[in-house]
């Protein structure tokens, strides 16, 4: 694409290739993906529940954009091992987040109501 892509320095290749076009694309996309959620929340365009799902969707897309354009992630980096580590981490993170929220929500919902007077005297 550009000269940056073909450039190999005398000290050897460090296996990293940034391009101006890639960074510019990533930056424009992430500005858009940041501005819309802030606008949705600050201008109160939609009901809160709908806004919640939409901004979570925008965040997920923006994470992918950053991964591709800023962190230069693809299936070929380090022979695929980076991607494998990323997928493994993503699975662990999803299990940890979803599991914590799920379990703790149900614990709160199924907890026996505590008398406020008794709670005040608890150790």
Distance CA 62, CA 120 (A): 45
Contact mark string toward other proteins, 75..94, x via CB under 8 A:
---x--xx--xx-xx--xx-
SS3 123: coil
Instruction: Name which of 54, 67, 66 is nearest 29 in CA terms.
Output: 66
Binds other proteins by CB under 8 A, chosen from 1, 7, 75, 116 = 7
Distance CA 22, CA 18 (A): 7
What does the binding site for other proteins look like in residue numbers (CB under 8 A)? 3-4, 7, 9, 11-12, 14-20, 23-24, 26-27, 30-31, 34, 37-38, 41-42, 48, 51-52, 55-56, 58-59, 62-63, 66-67, 70-71, 78, 81-82, 85-86, 88-89, 92-93, 96-97, 100-101, 104
């Amino acid at each position: 694409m550009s000269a940056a892509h073909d450039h190999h320095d005398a000290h050897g290749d460090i296996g990293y290739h940034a391009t101006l076009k890639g960074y510019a694309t990533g930056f424009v996309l992430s500005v858009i993906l940041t501005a819309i959620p802030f606008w949705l929340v600050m201008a109160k365009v939609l009901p809160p529940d709908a806004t919640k799902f939409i901004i979570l969707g925008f965040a997920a897309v923006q994470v992918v954009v950053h991964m591709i354009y800023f962190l230069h992630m693809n299936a070929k980096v380090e022979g695929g091992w980076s991607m494998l580590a990323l997928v493994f981490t993503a699975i662990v993170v999803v299990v940890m987040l979803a599991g914590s929220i799920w379990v703790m929500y149900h614990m709160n919902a199924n907890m026996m109501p505590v008398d406020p007077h008794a709670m005040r005297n608890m150790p």
